[in-house]
Amino acid sequence: MRLLRRSELPVDTVALARYLIGKTLVRELPEGRVSGRIVETEAYLVGDAAAHAFRGLTPRNRSLFLERGHAYVYFIYGNWHSINVSGETRGVGAGVLLRALEPLEGIASMRLRRPGAEMADIARGPGRLATALRIDRRLDGMDLCAAGSLWLGSGVKRRGPIGVSVRIGLSREVNRELRFYERGSPYVSGPRWLSL
DNA sequence: AGTGCGATTGACT
DNA sequence: GTCAATCGCACTA
């Protein structure tokens, strides 16, 4: 597993959302490395009414406007964090929501933060993923293409077919098929019929 | 200054 | 399957 270079990331948010399936998200913690294989993503595009960047740059969403490959971490529902990877050039607000991981390294560490969770549930869902990797707003704006406490790594296994569906949990733009997932993976979130 | 709600989760029926 | 929890942020006035 090696650090992905920014030049390897597609210069298009939809292409990036597909590209990230099968790649890894790596978190370096004092107790050791925690990592997982990305199995589910959603793209949030320019002009997309469901996107946090839709109404322009604000203090909260500014990381979405960074050069592709930076982290946008936000706090939601008073309890959870979610992480996006910015997807366009500097000044353009778009990103890829990371929705689920297949745990690879540091599973014991993840379990400490996800007590009682079944293996498949440890990082299934954006809030759970962030909890498992101890991701919070302090990591907002971090360059994921640089060695540090959070970074994107190359793929570690052969990739299965990628499925496409509508995005989960939205009240706007509900028909756009911008969710991508690894078919057959037990680590993918959402209702089963969405992941066939 | 006040209001409404959200890219969710976990507990409970 | 249903639903409350919980609070930062954007928007209105």
pLDDT in tens, A85-100: 999 999 999 999 999 9
Say what percent of chain A tops pLDDT 90.
93
Q: Which nucleotides of C are covered by protein (CB under 7 A)?
A: 1, 5-11
- Alpha helices by DSSP H, A55-164: 107-113, 126-132
Strands A162-165 and A71-76: unpaired
Q: How many helices (H) and strands (E) does chain A have?
A: 3, 8
Nucleic strand C within 7 A of Cβ A59: yes
Q: How wide is the angle at C-alpha A50 spanned by C-alphas A138 and A127, nearest 5°?
A: 40
- Consecutive H or E run containing A193: none
pLDDT in tens, A16-69: 999 999 999 999 999 999 999 999 999 999 999 999 999 999 999 999 999 999
Rounded-to-integer distance, Cα A195 and Cα A40, Å: 10
Nearest CA to A178 out of A44, A2, A86 is that of: A44
Q: Taking the C1' atom of B5, which residue's CA lies nearest?
A: A77
Which nucleotide minimizes the distance between its C1' and the CA of A123? B9
Give all domains of chain A, ordered by start, each with its CATH number: 6-187 (3.10.300.10)
In Å, what is the separation between the CA of A156 and the C1' of B12? 40
Please, which residues have CB within 8 angstroms of residue A85's CB and are 6 or more apart in sequence? A16, A20, A68, A69, A70, A71, A72, A95, A96, A98, A144, A152
* Residues at the strand B interface (Cβ < 7 Å): A 42, 44, 50-53, 64, 72, 76-80, 82, 84, 95, 97, 114, 117, 121, 125-129, 131, 167-171, 189
